[in-house]
């Protein structure tokens, strides 16, 4: 339902902002009006007290002057002609007995018993009360003159104060709803305008898909938080665009790598079916099939291993390994291949250097690098494998005197299916996944891999492992 509290209308940001604006303004207006009303009432009451004190001072001056008139005559003379304000007077003697009063019906309060507490005009007693449905103010003061001391009570109605306060609150009743209505309308427009860029961002983001990842959000140039948000989203789109590009390229490379052996096998099969062959020819064809099957098997195994690193891996504690022993075993494994190519293979890893990790994965990482070094080192060259500690880290280095890698190709050698032109053909370079796999294996072990090379001057690959045990993918 549109107006249901649980509906989407009340969850909209512009609606909630408007409600917050309105609630905040209503609170501020209520507090401001209450404070102003309080201050206005106090000010008007002080004015009323000042009027009563002025009247009392005039009567005090009257009693301070010498005169043959009685108190009653002086009091009546002072009251004569007063018509501007509705002020009441009452004069009492020192015993609290009334001498004269301007209004006998006025509800005067009794004089305090403690008469010595009154010190001239320095102290007074006052009260506010209702009489004839009109608020009144009364003050009681002690007067001193040449005659006996007397007490004066003065009072006045507060009708003007009441009328002023009623008028003030009538204006408040008009002001608050009007201000609230203006705030709701203005807050709604302000919220809609403030959120317009966000709606535009949302519409643009809805249009972007894998087919148009090159589209970007436009910044307003204001340098505010929305521009920061747009910049962050554009950076995310850049990363997605690169990821999709890599996925498409990876898919194309995989298809190409699979198509080559499959086409070769299909051509071989069609040739075998085209005519009769001898048993030796069939045997040779089956051997070529087996080679292609081995190649496909290695390719799929490498792809599965890379995919295993891409997903969130399950981990298990790594086992303690002796890298010297592991590298010497790899040296024995590749010795026959090195001798076949006329290459000197040296493994200088006689110290017992302990680390932690998955033996099979680390063995594959080192084997990929050593195999590459042998594969691309011409006859008469040398491949040297060393293992040593560098501070708390362990460094495994594979150095060859092979063809090297051109400088422009160095940033790309760890990419999947990347082959350096001319010196790394499909016939000698395998699938182009070896270094990529080695890099990922070292990364999941908390290590890293560096490569230094130059065309015609050989290559040095340094693999670093951390000093502390790590958890590796299971």
Query: For residue 160, what are its two tokens?
Result: 């003007």
Shared-domain flag, residues 156 and 137: yes
Residue 199 in any domain: the answer is no
- Domain presence at residue 171: no
Q: Which residues neighbour 249 within 8 Å (Cβ) at sequence distance 6 or greater?
A: none
Same domain, 407 and 428: yes
Judge if 110 and 229 occupy the same domain.
Answer: no
If asked whether residues 284 and 141 sit together in one domain, one would say no
Final residue of a structural domain among 147, 166, 185: 166
The more confident residue out of 248 and 172 is: 172
Overall domain count for the chain: 3
CB–CB of 325/394 below 8 Å?
A: no
Alpha carbons 347 and 442: distance in angstroms, whole number: 20
pLDDT-based confidence at 38, cuts 50/70/90? Answer: very high
Give the number of other CB atoms < 10 A from CB of residue 397: 19
Beta strand pairing call for 344-348 and 382-390: parallel
132, two tokens: 């004839």
* Statement: residue 337 has pLDDT above 80: yes
**H or E stretch including 399?**
strand 393-400
Q: Looking at the structure, do residues 396 and 368 belong to the same domain, yes or no?
A: yes
User: 291 and 340: one domain?
Assistant: no
CATH of the domain at 418: 3.30.565.10
Nearest Cα to Cα of residue 356 among 410, 318, 310, 383:
318
Residue 375 has pLDDT above 90, yes or no: no
pLDDT in tens, 266-276: 877 887 788 77
Q: Are residues 386 and 435 in the same domain?
A: yes
> Cβ distance 431 to 279 under 8 Å?
no
Can you read off the two tokens belonging to residue 459?
Answer: 């290559």
Give domain status of residue 2, yes or no: no
Please report the pLDDT score of residue 39 as a whole number.
92
How far is residue 356's CA from residue 118's CA, in Å, rounded to a whole number? 97
Residues 297 and 348 placed together within one structural domain of the fold: no
Q: Are strands 125-131 and 134-143 parallel, antiparallel or unpaired?
A: antiparallel
Asked if pLDDT for residue 458 goes beyond 60, the answer is: yes
Q: Is the pLDDT of residue 287 over 50?
A: yes
Calpha distance 164→82 (Å, rounded): 23
388: three-class secondary structure by DSSP: strand
User: What burial letters (b/e) apply to 111-135, b meaning 16+ CB within 10 Å?
Assistant: beeeeeebeeeeebebeeeeeeeee
- pLDDT of 2-15, one tens digit each? 444 455 777 777 77
The confidence band for 413, taking pLDDT boundaries of 50, 70 and 90, is: confident
Residue span of the structural domain in which 436 resides: 315-473
* Cβ-contact 454, 399 below 8 angstroms: no
DSSP state of 376: T
Within a domain: 458: yes
First to last CA, the chain: 52
Q: What is the pLDDT of residue 354?
A: 81
290 and 367 assigned to the same domain: no
155 part of a folded domain:
yes
Closest CA to 351 of 324, 330, 389, 385: 324
> Based on the number of CB atoms within 10 Å of its own CB, is 141 exposed (0-12), middle (13-18) or buried (19 or more)?
buried
Closest CA to 222 of 214, 234, 230: 230
In this model, does residue 407 exceed pLDDT 50?
A: yes
CATH number at residue 44: 3.30.450.20
Question: Does residue 296 register a pLDDT over 70?
Answer: yes
What CATH number does the domain containing 266 carry?
1.10.287.130
Residue 172: inside a domain, yes or no? no
Q: Beta partners for 151?
A: 92, 142
> CA 285, CA 276: separation in Å to the nearest integer?
13
Judgement on whether residues 287 and 321 belong to the same structural domain of the protein: no
Whether 83 and 20 map to the same domain: the answer is yes
For residues 146 and 242, membership in a common domain is answered with no
Q: How many other CB atoms are found less than 10 A from the CB of residue 210?
A: 10
Judge whether 218 lies within some domain. Answer: no
Residue 176 domain-assigned?
no
Please indicate whether residue 400 or residue 107 has the higher confidence score (pLDDT): 400
Q: What is the mean pLDDT of the chain?
A: 77
């Amino acid at each position: 339902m549109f107006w249901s509290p649980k509906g989407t209308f009340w969850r909209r940001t512009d609606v909630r902002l408007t409600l917050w604006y309105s609630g905040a303004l209503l609170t501020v207006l209520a507090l401001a009006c209450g404070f102003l009303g309080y201050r206005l009432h106090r000010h008007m009451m002080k004015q009323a007290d000042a009027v009563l004190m002025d009247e009392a001072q005039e009567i005090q001056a009257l009693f301070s002057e010498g005169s043959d008139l009685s108190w009653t005559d002086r009091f009546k003379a002072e009251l004569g002609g007063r018509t501007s304000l509705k002020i009441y007077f009452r004069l009492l003697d020192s015993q609290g007995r009334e001498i004269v009063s301007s209004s006998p019906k006025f509800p005067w309060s009794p004089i305090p018993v403690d008469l010595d507490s009154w010190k001239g005009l320095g102290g007074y007693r006052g009260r506010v009360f209702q009489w004839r449905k009109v608020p009144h103010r009364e003050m009681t003061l002690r007067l001193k003159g040449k005659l006996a001391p007397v007490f004066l009570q003065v009072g006045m109605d507060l009708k003007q104060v009441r009328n002023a306060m009623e008028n003030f609150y009538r204006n408040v009743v008009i002001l608050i709803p009007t201000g609230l209505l203006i705030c709701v309308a203005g807050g709604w427009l302000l919220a809609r305008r403030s959120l317009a860029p966000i709606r535009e961002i949302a519409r643009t983001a809805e249009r972007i898909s894998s087919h148009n990842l090159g589209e970007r959000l436009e910044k307003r140039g204001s340098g505010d938080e929305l521009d920061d948000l747009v910049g962050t989203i554009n950076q995310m789109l850049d990363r997605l665009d690169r990821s999709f590009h890599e996925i498409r390229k990876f898919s194309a490379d995989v298809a190409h790598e699979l198509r080559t052996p499959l086409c070769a096998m299909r051509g071989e099969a069609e040739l075998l079916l085209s005519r009769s062959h001898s048993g030796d020819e069939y045997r040779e064809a089956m051997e070529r099939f087996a080679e292609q099957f081995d190649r496909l098997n290695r390719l799929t195994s490498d792809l599965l291993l890379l995919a295993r690193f891409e997903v969130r891996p399950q981990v298990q504690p790594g086992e303690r390994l002796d890298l010297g022993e592991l590298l010497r075993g790899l040296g024995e494994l590749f010795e026959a291949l090195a001798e076949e190519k006329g290459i000197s293979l040296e493994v200088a890893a006689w110290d017992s250097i302990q680390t932690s990790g998955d033996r099979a994965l680390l063995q594959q990482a080192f084997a990929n690098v050593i195999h590459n070094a042998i594969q691309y080192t011409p006859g008469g060259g040398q491949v040297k494998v060393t293992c040593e500690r560098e501070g708390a880290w362990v460094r495994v280095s594979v150095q060859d005197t092979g063809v090297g890698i051109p400088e422009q190709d160095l940033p790309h050698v760890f990419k999947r299916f990347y082959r350096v032109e001319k010196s790394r053909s499909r016939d000698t370079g395998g699938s182009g996944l070896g270094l990529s796999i080695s890099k990922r294996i070292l990364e999941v072990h908390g290590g890293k891999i560096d490569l230094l090379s130059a065309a015609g001057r050989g290559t040095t690959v340094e693999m670093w492992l951390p000093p502390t045990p790590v958890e590796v993918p299971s």
